[in-house]
A = this chain, B = another copy of it.
């Protein structure tokens, strides 16, 4: 369905402030709730709370993620539509990691005064957000708006999903001997980010940084077919996230560097730089999961290739939690080099 264009003229937004902004978002958000899903969201934007009706026998999974100007994106380098897309992709990727189907999403939005009057920017932002919401069948059902006291754009996304009770994919569950897999390719987001930050136009056919695709179908199928013993999404970088998975499962891991599926966007970089982007770059929003060695996995799932990149081993005191093995068979500790706030 084509997005419903809001017709609120700039003057009205200025006169009526928050109410006009909410009305603008409410009108456009309607397109994210197809008739087939209305029984799951009996009430969207406009009351004290939204009302959701999860299917009988399901559990609800919930995640929240900040996207803050100057930390997760910039206003001068990121197109408005990319900012809207990315804030939602972060939340949906967490749902994919549990094997859940989106139920609805909520956006808290604190706008600098300049942007609150910039209907072109707002429409671009909503285009990016709502296009992905429609594609992922994730209706925008509410949120909050405020003026940003610091003058920086502040976004917080809440994503809710459903899955049959007791079936969620977890970070715990990986066992020694399990193979380690990733969906898609790694390092593409870091490669495109470098282009974006340099101020050049990103002209590649794919946009792993500006418009990452949350792997909802892949996660759902992994869970439905009981293929994975543990799963999470790659948001902070393989070296950081795999360590999280290992700690949650009480195991360690060995990674074969020459098996990493390097993203074609990094092909002009040196090999060490390509490896760095794949291991530590972060924000690839691919799935990282483990499966028993004797379980036959398809080459691709939900339209995305799957690649075996290593093996789960027993955790040993004084041994590194992650070991990398290069193509000459040399082993060394792989230290977490991914994204961590407040460090």
Given A49-B95, A54-B54, A70-B150, also A342-B116 (CB < 8 A): yes
Query: Is B147 a contact partner of A48 (Cβ separation < 8 A)?
Result: no
Query: Is A342 a contact partner of B48 (Cβ separation < 8 A)?
Result: no
A150 to B150, CA, bound (A): 6
Asked if A195 is at the interface of the complex by the 8 Å CB criterion, the answer is: no
Query: Is A51 a contact partner of B60 (Cβ separation < 8 A)?
Result: yes
Return chain B residues, CB-CB under 8 Å to A113: 342
Near B by CB (< 8 A), chain A positions 30-87 give 42-43, 46-54, 56, 59-66, 68-71
Asked if A208 is at the interface of the complex by the 8 Å CB criterion, the answer is: no
Asked if A260 is at the interface of the complex by the 8 Å CB criterion, the answer is: no
Copies, count: 2
Query: Is A59 a contact partner of B47 (Cβ separation < 8 A)?
Result: no
Query: Is B42 a contact partner of A51 (Cβ separation < 8 A)?
Result: no
* Residue with the greatest number of chain B CB neighbours at <10 A, chosen from A50, A62, A70, A149: A62
**Closest B residue, CB atoms, query A72:** B146
Known contacts A63-B142, A64-B144; can you find 17 more A-B pairs with CB under 8 A? Answer: A42-B59, A43-B168, A46-B171, A47-B170, A50-B63, A51-B59, A51-B60, A51-B98, A62-B106, A62-B158, A64-B143, A66-B156, A68-B154, A69-B149, A110-B154, A145-B342, A147-B342
